[in-house]
Structure 1
Amino acid sequence: MNKWFSLWLSLGSSQRRFPQIQVALVFILFCLFADLALAQQEDQSKVQPLITFLSHRTGHNVLYTMHPDGSQITPVLGGPVSDQPVFTKGVTMFRSPHWTRQSPNGKYFASWVYEEGHPFSKWQGDLRAMLWVGDLQGTWTRILNPDCTELFAWSPDSRQIAWSTNFADSRIRFRQKNQAELSRIYVAGIDGSHSRQVMEKEGSWLVEDWSPDQQRLLITHPSDGAELNDSRCELYELLLSETSPAQDSDSQDKTSQSEKKILKRISFSAENLVISSARYAPDGKSLALVVYNPENMYASNLAADDEWGRMRMMRLLGKIAVLSLDTGEVKVIFDPDYGLRGPICWTADGKEILFSRYLSPNDVREKFQSDKSHGLAIWAINRQGKKPRFITTGWSPDCSRVVNGN
């Protein structure tokens, strides 16, 4: 820029008999600066693809963002909240995010968050997780719903969120004693507006994902048997185009007829495997699954010092599989040592699946301050289960649908 300015001055002094040259130069410089400003504005308007993830590398749960290669890790939400007043002297309030989903446009997050006082022995408050939303710059947050389960999904346009509420959950304040398990699924705008119930059904029904075409919700229906290895899980798609603006929960006949129209069961062949969680691929043609063998579902916490500790924080011996929605074929593509922990996600281009696997027992990274348990690390594999790539320590990774800033 200094070079262009010096040239203009020199030409101006030597060409004073030709004022039209100066006018032309001013016009050229104006266009040059305008183009530079426009290019800079366009670069700033592009949303860079980020990965959100959770980590307690500081000793407490914190939500972070990072670049796809694991660089530029930045905290977003979580940790001590020093500006909150407390009732008991010596108590510090902490905000703890858990399973988190990033909005497809890469601007917002939704997280299952609870606040608690440390040390808990002094605080003795009511621990209650709620669904929070906010932006990834950490400038605003709000509570979207106080009673949802830990699973939820963004709409592809990043304007709505779907979640379920389970009325047999002990965390629900208005749960009635001995009430049968009942789930309701809701959809609402990011600001809490236009909330509507789209399904009510007995049992546990969980929102796993929202289809790329915005027409369907991916639902899991887990059921527990008398024994741990009797657990089962069915997959469904909830057809949003068939849901009415409001379900009439007082009419059982109407509800039954509505269920037949809005619920489509996904058939698949996976012998001796149970689904733990599922996500749509960006093209909507397949699902990434976490599956496990119910006969060999959990393994001891090898990082603990005693038998009681080894029975706590047990490891899920999960595997990653891909389900073709056209054929129903399930193919296990990755079976890591020590097992893995959900949730999982696809990269925006659909070429990789991100997941969390347990670190070895002697790896001290990501271990809780209060419990000795296996730490977790985030890895990526391609959709054939090859080329495993370590990204960073932590868990609950999620990607936007932003590809190269677009």
Structure 2
Amino acid sequence: MAKRRPSGDGMVRRREDGRWEGRIVIGHKESGAPIFRYVSAKTQKELLKKLHQSMEEYRDVDLSENSKLPLGQWLDRWLEEYAAPSVRPSTLEGYRGYVERNIKLHLGDKPVGKLTREDVRRLYRELQKNGRQEYHPEYGYKLSGGTIRRIHGVLHQAMDAAVRENLIAWNPTEGITLPKKKTAPKQILNDAQLERFMEIIQADSVWHDFFYTELTTGLRQGEICGLLWSDFDETHGTLSVRRTLHVQKGGVLVTGETKTGTGKRTITLPPSTAQLLAQRKKQSYSQWIFPNPLRPEQPANPNTVYSHLKTLLKKAGLPSIRFHDLRHTFATHALASGVDAKTLSGILGHTQASFTLDTYTHVTGDMQKRASEIVGGFLEHIMVR
């Protein structure tokens, strides 16, 4: 058997056409045969420069023959073996969407070992211009910077795994300049709008309790839809958030873990909400606190909830806010009413109180202004003595 050639070992020759060609060993097949990388140049000096760059690039690297695997096949494998065991079902579905609609469509046939940084840059430029498969009245076929960043996050993770699997020597998504993320301003219902919304839901016998509970707890959409009666402690007036509900492709409902570790939490309900749920429990014949109105053996569908919210807002003549903006509304009014950030962070299931403050700086700024006026008045009182 021939001696196994070490990675980085190379050779140089002049071809019949006058150009210079070199190759280095970058890995080995299962049989032990070397895998080569070839470079060429017009002159020997230019070739040696390229060859030395390649040697540095592949130093201490021993790629497998799977480096010729098409990127699309590697991404499918990465989704099943790496992503699926570690992320929530809804997150995995999002990853699949980015892989199928955006990455594989443009680079799926490219050998994973030949994917370059320029390939990645070209992909992102194309997605920014023509990334949408359907025309959007506001954005046309363009994808937002935020969406490009999420696609990049998926591809970056997959390529990191490819490095660990010895499919590539380095991650080609490193060092890519990404488009800026334009965050849409948070919308909340002000005092007058909130009062109007409460009037509208008061007349809705089916959905009143759901939206009243949401506005007094700030639960995430999947969290409130996934509540069971076993989560409600009537004696102590508390609610335990233990799961979240996701809608998968095809409308299948799946329960999963909360968004973060601190998402599992027990919150003390306002007396009015605790009383409302206690009364509701007496009349309930479902295990779900908020069941599907037509199929009470099933939980409320988040998609149905969202659609009904839009109907209520339109009926009330209010801005067409997102469901998550009800959570913002709760948090904003809580902070403005004097609830401290640490307590609010625990209610919302945020990992850190600093995140709560960063998220709602528009409120804390007003609070700081009022605080400065109080301190100013206090100092003026001292000075006039």
TM class, shorter-chain normalised? under 0.3
* Structure (1/2) with the larger strand percentage: 1
TM-score after normalising by structure 1: 0.20
TM-score after normalising by structure 2: 0.21
Higher Rg = 2
* Structure (1/2) with the larger helix percentage: 2
